[in-house]
Structure 1
Amino acid sequence: MEDSAAQPELARRAWARLAPFAAGRLFEPFLAYACVTDQPGHAILASEGVVGLPRVTQAGGVSNFVFCGHRASLGKVQIEFDGSDNILFLGAHATPGHCKIRVHGSGHVFHFGSFSSASSLTVLLQGEGGKILVGDDCMFSARIILSNSDQHAIYQRATGARINRERDVLIEDHVWLGRDVRVSKGSRIGRDSIIAQGAVVSGEIAAHVVAGGLPARMLQTDVTWSRVRADSLAEAEASPGHRQRLLRAEKLRRRIAALEAGAGPA
């Protein structure tokens, strides 16, 4: 950072901006993180057991922070900053795979929740003060694109005013995105929903639905899904794989509770 002595306070202020989205999620407190990389323009703070660190390039700007959660696997993540005061959070046990995050502008927030995964993912943040927020236990297939922008400006000829401003993206907990899905600016996807392969989301998708198409529309309601393939939901929930994920989540909850109580990691 430009002033390493001020780094802890800057990091704490950055962390506070994540709090509204973190409520009710598997979110380690600030004291779980220690600075592991402090470079001109950006710093990486990691919790215990992180496997690999993101590779960060800095085209310009200062006071950018990357938070890496407990036992997250991040060695294939590439980040490009061109701006200041941006915050990226990659949650505990997250596995974002071949992930490219490009942040152009200042004041942005990107959150990739605990236990969320991706095969390959591109995240594009442009403008000023934007947010792309992904909840816990999401599952993204390959070649997923999340963007808060159209990438180029469109103007009204009569007035010269720009008419395609950036808009935030929110993906709630336990959302499954199929291969080649694009989630466009202003989109919101409710928890437990499934977006079919090749769909383009450009608005609001309700919780517990299957959606697909261009643009994505509701195809089926009252659904949920599991990472375990089984003939019934009951069989999926009774499977060793599902039980193991529940145990890992409970262990993380105990860790978070111990940290918040000041007792140290559980």
Structure 2
Amino acid sequence: MYLKNHSDIANNIINYSDKENDKIKVLFFGKNNKLTVHPEAKIAGTTIRFDCDDGVCTIGNNSFNGFIRIGQGCSVTIGDQVTCTNGCYISTAENTSVTIGNDCMIASANEIRTDDGHPIFDIISGRRINLSRSITIGDHVWLAAKSIVLSGSSIGRGSVIGLGSIVKSAIPNNSIAVGVPAKTIKKNIAWERPHLTLVKPFIKPDSSFITKSQYWDLTCEEEPVVIKKKSIFSKIFRF
């Protein structure tokens, strides 16, 4: 079905608005699932798929686009002012969650996965060795093109993940992490949205040429990833 207010006999619910968005496809294959989308969200070209039961997806006032898979008892939360250039893939399974903070910038061909899609076992013990684990991405994080965030990762607010990097650990706030696996190579950094060729001045040698955001913080290794800015979205829908 397309994105619109909806409820069915399996207790699958969509909270959106009185209009229908034919650019968003929603698929329910289980029961007791809930999708809530901010009425002013500019998401397009997106498929949201609930494979199992008891899944929750919340999309704020942003311009996300891509594919979101919600597994058994899983949740995906995407904050406000998140931008996505093209086709982010998000996958959850086995009671895990993906949380993306406000004002994040997602480039193209990115993946965020709490699971590997298929189980891998130790032959001797029979134990599972690739358990699914939740992911947290703080406010104002920039995922460069083709970067991937895997299960159990956390990225502190204000950080940058480099082109083609694969995150499988905790990245502190206001830092740059690159490589496979991604490692922190620079701390105490801040990035801003003005594009180098689309926003004047076209040469920006220092920070005097931009307006500083609220995310200019020194790197703190001990800082937990916390989404600090409360979304107006929760006030509108009272949840």
* TM-score over 0.5 (shorter chain): yes
| 2:24 maps to amino acid | P
- Quote the residue 1:55 is aligned against: 25
Contact 2:57–2:70, Cα closer than 8 Å, also in 1? no
Report the Cα distance in structure 1 between the residues aligned to 2:193 and 2:151, rounded to whole angstroms.
Answer: 27
Q: Identity of counterpart residues, as a percentage?
A: 24
Shift of 1:87: 0.6
1:123 to 90, 109, 112: 90
Instruction: Indicate whether 1:175 and 2:145 are aligned.
Output: no
Report the Cα distance in structure 1 between the residues aligned to 2:134 and 2:230, rounded to whole angstroms.
Answer: 28
| 2:88 maps to amino acid | L
Shift of 1:256: 6.8
- Quote the residue 1:165 is aligned against: 131
- 1:117-266 to 2 correspondences below 5 Å: 117-119=83-85, 120-127=87-94, 129-229=95-195, 230-237=204-211
| 2:128 maps to amino acid | R
What secondary structure, in the 3-state scheme, does the structure 1 residue paired with 2:209 have?
Answer: helix
Shift of 1:72: 0.6
What secondary structure, in the 3-state scheme, does the structure 2 residue paired with 1:141 have?
Answer: strand
Report the Cα distance in structure 2 between the residues aligned to 1:38 and 1:169, rounded to whole angstroms.
Answer: 29
Shift of 1:152: 1.6
Contact 2:157–2:174, Cα closer than 8 Å, also in 1? yes
The 1:193/1:48 distance shift into structure 2, 3 A limit, reads: farther
Report the Cα distance in structure 2 between the residues aligned to 1:121 and 1:44, rounded to whole angstroms.
Answer: 21
The 1:217/1:257 distance shift into structure 2, 3 A limit, reads: closer
- Quote the residue 1:44 is aligned against: 14
CA deviations on 1:181-237 (whole Å, 9 max, x unpaired) are: 100000000000001110000001010001100010111110111111444334221
CA deviations on 1:21-54 (whole Å, 9 max, x unpaired) are: xxxxxxxxxxxxxx71224543210258997663
- 1:103-118 to 2 correspondences below 5 Å: 103-104=70-71, 106-118=72-84
Report the Cα distance in structure 2 between the residues aligned to 1:125 and 1:258, rounded to whole angstroms.
Answer: 26
Report the Cα distance in structure 1 between the residues aligned to 2:43 and 2:234, rounded to whole angstroms.
Answer: 24
- Quote the residue 2:216 is aligned against: none
The 1:255/1:84 distance shift into structure 2, 3 A limit, reads: closer
- Quote the residue 2:58 is aligned against: 89
Contact 1:155–1:163, Cα closer than 8 Å, also in 2? yes
How many residue pairs get matched? 210
The 1:159/1:67 distance shift into structure 2, 3 A limit, reads: same
Report the Cα distance in structure 1 between the residues aligned to 2:68 and 2:231, rounded to whole angstroms.
Answer: 31
Alpha-carbon RMSD across the aligned residues, in angstroms, is: 2.8
| 2:60 maps to amino acid | G
Shift of 1:162: 1.1
Report the Cα distance in structure 1 between the residues aligned to 2:134 and 2:231, rounded to whole angstroms.
Answer: 32
Structure 2 gaps, min length 5: 196-203, 214-228
Report the Cα distance in structure 1 between the residues aligned to 2:137 and 2:89, rounded to whole angstroms.
Answer: 15
Structure 1 gaps, min length 5: 1-34, 243-251
Contact 2:31–2:54, Cα closer than 8 Å, also in 1? yes
The 1:199/1:258 distance shift into structure 2, 3 A limit, reads: closer
The 1:177/1:88 distance shift into structure 2, 3 A limit, reads: same
Report the Cα distance in structure 1 between the residues aligned to 2:53 and 2:40, rounded to whole angstroms.
Answer: 27
TM-score by length of 1: 0.71
